[in-house]
Chains A and B, each alone.
Chain A
């Protein structure tokens, strides 16, 4: 059972455009939502994270929007650059349950110059 559903599976965007990745979850016990960026052959790197009592968080060109009632959250990459081409994973954590990460299926983003 996939507890965190991520879409789209892949995304092509022109340089300077906006990349939008969506995630949805069912388990209301999740209480922390990080996003990770992974380049081929590398481990994931933490990009940005949000708690469910916050509706939006922005760090540079990356913004998370969080809708608690809809149990959905999304990552927006503004002014996308070719260097942003990577696979992005949303994730969810239940902090009281040992902080195990539940990952979404991933989105492969390709930014065309």
Chain B
């Protein structure tokens, strides 16, 4: 199946700093990618839809000025958590629709564990 990678796999930062997370589709192009966050023992919550060449679409309740999304190419989307605080500590996961099979399924990255001290 298609491969989606994320970098870094984990990051620890100080409160007030910004952190950038990359999501790459390794062997296919993705005009759309999705960003989720997952708290321990909870389900995935969609944060935003990243659209190549245009602005991201944010879900209700997600601060777009805090979670900056840039989809600069057909294989790369980035999520920047600005002025991070301990409550932003979470597992961030991206996904991209599968290529060549319509868009019925999505492939997920391995996730990025963010810890804000």
Please determine whether chains A and B interact with each other in the same assembly: yes
Query: Measuring CB to CB, which residues of chain A are less than 8 angstroms from any residue of chain B?
Result: 32, 34, 36, 41-46, 49, 89, 93, 95, 98-106, 108
Give the number of residues in B that approach A within 8 Å (Cβ atoms): 26
Which A-chain residue is minimally distant from B113 (CB atoms)?
Answer: A41
Residues of B86-110 at the interface with A, using a CB-CB cut-off of 8 Å, are: 91, 93, 95, 97, 102-110
A46 touches B42 (CB 8 A): no
Chain B, 33-48, CB within 8 A of any chain A CB: 34, 41-44, 46
Residue pair A43, B34 in contact (C-beta under 8 Å): no
Residue in chain A with minimal CB distance to B59: A100
In the complex, B1 has a CB within 8 A of chain A? yes
- Chain B residue, CB-CB nearest to A4: B43
Q: Does B25 contact A (CB under 8 A)?
A: no
List B59-104 residues whose CB lies under 8 Å from chain A: 91, 93, 95, 97, 102-104
Are A98's CB and B104's CB within 8 A? no
27 pairs, CB–CB < 8 Å, chain A vs chain B:
A34-B106, A36-B108, A42-B110, A43-B4, A43-B6, A43-B93, A43-B108, A43-B109, A43-B110, A43-B111, A44-B44, A45-B108, A46-B1, A49-B104, A49-B105, A89-B44, A93-B104, A98-B49, A99-B32, A99-B104, A100-B46, A101-B46, A101-B95, A101-B106, A103-B43, A106-B43, A108-B41
Interface contact B108-A32, CB-CB below 8 Å: no
Shortest CB-to-CB span from B89 to chain A, Å, is 14
